[in-house]
Structure 1
Amino acid sequence: MKIAFAGKGGSGKTTLSALFTRYLAAAGAEVVAVDADINQNLGAALGLAPDDLARIPPLGSHLSEIKEILRGSNPRIASADAMIKTTPPGRGSHLLDMTPANPIHRRFGHPAAGATLMVTGPFSTDDLGVACYHSKVGAAEMYLNHLVDGPGEYAVVDLTAGADSFASGLFTRFDVTFLVAEPTLRGVGVYRQYADYARDHDVEIRVIGNKVQDEGDVEFLREHVGSALSACFGHSSFVRAMEKGRHPDLAELEDDNAKTLAWMRDSVDTAPKDWARFTRQSAEFHARNARAWANTTTGTDLEAQIDPEFVMGPEALEAQRA
């Protein structure tokens, strides 16, 4: 399953992304965690030291290499330069599985808390004033577009704060989006914005209340987000320790919060997996980007990259292996 963690800055989404990643990995699941936030803190939250983090090649700095891997022998894509972040896979594209043999994982992944961590990378000095972060996040979108995840396999993505992921089709790439909201007006405001943008795109949003201290906080969240409120993390010394850079053993997590993590996994595992929808949305957003700017920029009809006979999913991956 592909899982996003979204929310406003400071809501605790990175901490909960790391905690959920650790929980899944400790249960023996195959987990890839992707830090797609402009503030690159997921690796530290998973316990990596600065020297380890510095050795991870950032996806956003190697877009040409990633495109070359993913385009494979797809005859609709003339070269890596012809790919944009929304270019969908088709027959001949290099589809990815969740194994260590995955060339993207081998090249850009790093072990972290029992999972494989990849990072989109921070702004560099050369980026300041001349580039936006969407180009780096585009590497994560291309990865997700080509990833076939199976039962018991999880890709956990810590998105950039707010609603920046709506600048492309990235927000549709997930089976479940956990929106982390504090019991404040600003906390629930991001949910309203996210829900408004996602309403017409079959995006599954589940609100996780965080930093909840009492029943009044729960009622506040329920009043503002209604039935989208799925679970809450109560006041947690464990989570506070994580936010201070410590990494307690999972056995020390409070019982109620451990139950919330278990519910979150059950919720993800029972979410519908709809590869036909995934494929359709990929094509729709690519066509939209092609018409809006990419055809003019590249001087090419990029809608021709869409393979109408292709459906992403396990059958396509098996055909590639064969």
Structure 2
Amino acid sequence: MKIAFVGKGGSGKTTLASLFLRHLAAETPTPPLLGIDADINQHLAAALGAADDHTQPTLGEHLTAIKDHLRGDNPLVHSAADMIKTTPPGRGSRLIGIDDDNPLYARFVRRVDGVRLAATGPFAESDLGVSCYHSKVGAVELLLNHMVDGAGEYAVVDMTAGADSFASGLFTRFDVTFLVCEPTLRSVGVYRQYLDYARDFDVRVAVVGNKVIDGDDVAFLRQHVGADLLTWIGRSDHVRAAERGDIRPVERLEPANREALRAMRALVDGVEQDWPKFHRQTVEFHLRNASAWANGRAGRDLAEQVDPGFVPGPVSLAG
């Protein structure tokens, strides 16, 4: 299952993503589990308890290598340079699983507190004035486009804040999108904006309330998000300690908050994946990007990269 955490900046989405990852790691021995930090503020590793040593290569710095691997010998993709962030897989492409032993994971994934983690990388000084962060997040979109995952397997992505993911088709790449929402008008405003943009794309959104203090906060969230409110995280000494750098075992999280994580997992585990829809949306956004800017750069029509009749899924990966 592919899972996104989104929300207003400062809402606590990175905190919730890290708690959910650690919960999954604790509940199931050696689960097929991959975390990806796709936020411009790269804090997921620290939230999981990693030392900030900057030694792990990042996805955004090595986009060409990622393209080269995923392209495989797909005859419709002429070169890595021809491949854009939305290029869909086809026959000959290299598909990846959650728990694969592949060169990309060997290079870009490290283990942090029982969680396998990859990072997009920060917005570097050399990027100022010449590129946008979406060029780095394109590496994540390519990975997800080529990722074949099944029930009981989890790719958890900490996304950029607000509605930034709508700059590409990345927002459609998930089986469940958890929108972290504080009991404030500004946070609810981001929720409404997200739903408005996603309305025509059958995006499954569940709201997780955060920083909830009392019944009035719960009532506020129910008033503004209605049935989309799945659960909420209440006042937490565990989380406050983590924000000071004291990362405690997730088993010591307050019982009510741990139950919230279980409700989130139960929702994810109940979802049936729709591979034809997933690939159809991949192709749709590829064609949009091709006609908007990529055809001119490539000097040819990149709609030709679409492999008619190909649909990814477990059978494709096995093949």
Q: Indicate if the aligned counterparts of 2:110 and 2:118 stay in contact, CA closer than 8 A.
A: yes
Is residue 199 from structure 1 mapped to residue 196 from structure 2 by the alignment? Answer: no
Distance in 1 separating the partners of 2:80 and 2:277: 26
Is residue 45 from structure 1 mapped to residue 43 from structure 2 by the alignment? Answer: no
Q: Kindly state the Cα deviation for residue 251 of structure 1 after the two structures are TM-superposed.
A: 2.1
Over 3 Å counting, the alpha-carbon distance change for 1:313 and 1:100 in structure 2 is closer
Distance in 2 separating the partners of 1:275 and 1:32: 20
Per the normalisation by structure 2, the TM-score is 0.98
Q: Quote the residue 2:223 is aligned against.
A: 223
Matches within 5 A, 1:281-292: 281-292=281-292
Q: Quote the residue 2:79 is aligned against.
A: 79
Is residue 298 from structure 1 mapped to residue 274 from structure 2 by the alignment? Answer: no
Q: Which amino acid aligns with 2:155?
A: A
Instruction: In structure 2, list runs of 5 or more residues that go unmatched.
Output: none
Q: Quote the residue 1:190 is aligned against.
A: 190
Instruction: In structure 1, list runs of 5 or more residues that go unmatched.
Output: none
Q: Quote the residue 1:139 is aligned against.
A: 139
Distance in 1 separating the partners of 2:231 and 2:73: 45
Q: Quote the residue 1:251 is aligned against.
A: 251
Q: Secondary structure at the match of 1:50?
A: coil
Q: Secondary structure at the match of 1:18?
A: helix
Q: Secondary structure at the match of 2:127?
A: coil
Per the normalisation by structure 1, the TM-score is 0.97
Q: Indicate if the aligned counterparts of 1:30 and 1:115 stay in contact, CA closer than 8 A.
A: no
CA deviations over 1:84-139 (Å, ceiling 9, x no partner) = 00000000000001224032211100001211100000011210111100000000
Distance in 2 separating the partners of 1:269 and 1:12: 23
Identical positions, percent: 61
Distance in 2 separating the partners of 1:307 and 1:246: 50
Distance in 1 separating the partners of 2:128 and 2:282: 30
Runs of 4+ more than 6 Å apart: none
Q: Quote the residue 1:104 is aligned against.
A: 104
Q: Quote the residue 1:66 is aligned against.
A: 66
Q: Quote the residue 1:33 is aligned against.
A: 35
Q: Quote the residue 1:160 is aligned against.
A: 160
Equivalenced residue count is 317
Distance in 1 separating the partners of 2:244 and 2:185: 25
Q: Secondary structure at the match of 1:147?
A: coil
Q: Indicate if the aligned counterparts of 1:100 and 1:106 stay in contact, CA closer than 8 A.
A: no
Q: Kindly state the Cα deviation for residue 309 of structure 1 after the two structures are TM-superposed.
A: 1.6
Two-structure CA RMSD over aligned residues (Å):
0.8
Q: Report the more deviating stretch, 144-153 or 280-289.
A: 144-153
Q: Indicate if the aligned counterparts of 2:176 and 2:203 stay in contact, CA closer than 8 A.
A: yes
Q: Which amino acid aligns with 1:186?
A: R
Q: Indicate if the aligned counterparts of 2:183 and 2:221 stay in contact, CA closer than 8 A.
A: yes
Distance in 2 separating the partners of 1:164 and 1:16: 19
